[in-house]
Each structure stands twice: as structure tokens, then as C-alpha cells.
Amino acid sequence: MEHRELAVAGAYAFFPEVFPDARGDFASPYQERAFVAAVGRPLFPVAQASRSVSRRGVVRGVHYTLVPPGTAKYVYCAGGRALDMVVDLRAGSPTFARWEAIELAAGDGTAVYLPPGVGHAFAALEDDTVVCYLLSEEYRKEHELAVSVFDEEIGLRLPPGLPVLLSERDRQAPTLAEVAALGQLPRYDG
């Protein structure tokens, strides 16, 4: 499995080998040895596994959690295709407000690791896109926060012509400056 660090400090993309045959294909989106080689430690203890199914144009995020406790995520696409966006929301981080997008597709098993305090969003590029998450903490509504995917300070670029569909929560999400003014930015711990 190959890996590379993303433009956000501490976030990585993983690219497993895919084994096709007459039946279809097989891939392992998470492999501990490769994760340890990249991150320097094993994956967090998994407290929750989740998945979402989205139609083309659904945009989820930019979501993050209060730190502490913070939630690390390991994300891959099990069906369809998604443009996954990783955004550094950690005050004091050397990559604060930087982001990187990477396409996740069911056919290649590519996965993304996001440390606590890093924001996450994705845009479904096909109907029935299935995104799977391994989470270091169980979901707690009171810890979940969001920043607007349209915040010009961050400057995320959604695919042109994509018919964007957001939840009410994501439509009303504050900007990065508003979140900072509220004291809701996670701190970078190095």
C-alpha cells in the first residue's frame, strides 16, 4: 500500500493495491503496517463505524469536532465516487486554513486519514455514493461543529456543474472567521 501526506499537516491518503479477476476485484483500504509507516503509530481504537449513502451533488461538511475530545477519522468510498476534502481548522497549525481534495472511488480503495481538529467534507460525484468512516469517538451531537463549504477564506472548489444539495445545518454553517470569533476552533497540538 502506498501513501502520501496531504497539504494538511498530519493528514494522509492511502492507496491500496487492487486485485481484479473475473469475479470483480478485491482491495484492503486499511492496512496497519502501511498506516504505521505513514503516521508513526497504529490506527486509533475504533469507537464507531459509520457510512453514508448520497445521491450525485450531495455535499456533506465541512464537519469537525470539539477538541478535546476530538475525533480522528479514516474514510474510504465503498460505492460510487466522491471528491473528499480535508481542511485544516486547527488554530496554530502550520497548515491552518489549507485544504486538499482527493477523489475516492469504490474501484480503487483509496482512503484518507484525518487527525482530530481537521475538517472533513465530500461531494458525491455519482448517485448512490457510499462513504464509510472509522471514528475514534462515538458521535455526540454536542461535540459536532461545521464550517461553511462556501467560505471564501478557505476557498474550496466544488466540481463545476455539480448540482449542490446541502443539509439545512450545512447551509447555515458559519464561516471560519465566525467560528474563530466564537472560540470554537480546535487547537493544534503539534
Q: What percent of the chain has pLDDT over 90?
A: 96
Sorting pLDDT into bands at 50, 70 and 90, what band is 69? confident
Q: What is the pLDDT of residue 35?
A: 97
pLDDT (0 to 100) of residue 5: 97
134-151 residue pLDDT tens:
999 999 999 999 999 999
Average the pLDDT over 86-115 and give the result: 97
- Residues with catalytic function: 63, 133
Neighbour tally for 44: CB within 10 Å: 18
* Cis ω for the linkage preceding 86 (within 30 of 0): no
The CATH number that domain 2-181 falls under is 2.60.120.10
State pLDDT tens for residues 94-103. 999 999 999 9
Average pLDDT, the chain: 96
Count the alpha carbons within 13 Å of 57 in the hemisphere toward its beta carbon.
Answer: 7
Q: Is 173 exposed, middle or buried (0-12, 13-18, 19+ CB in 10 A)?
A: buried
Q: Is the pLDDT of residue 190 over 80?
A: no
pLDDT tens across 121-137, in order?
999 999 999 999 999 99
Q: Cell numbers at residue 15, please? A: 492507496
DSSP 52-107: EEE-TTBEEEEEEE-TTT---EEEEEEESEEEEEEEE--BT-TTTT-EEEEEEETT
Note the pTM of the prediction, 2 decimals. 0.94
pLDDT exceeds 80 at position 66: yes
Q: Which of 51-60, 64-73, 162-171 has the lowest mean pLDDT?
A: 64-73
Domain map (residue ranges) of the chain: 2-181
Banded model confidence at residue 50, pLDDT cuts 50, 70, 90: very high
Give the sign of the dihedral formed by CA 165, CA 169, CA 172, CA 174: negative
Alpha helix ranges (H) inside the chain: 32-39, 168-171, 176-181
The pLDDT assigned to 68 comes to 87
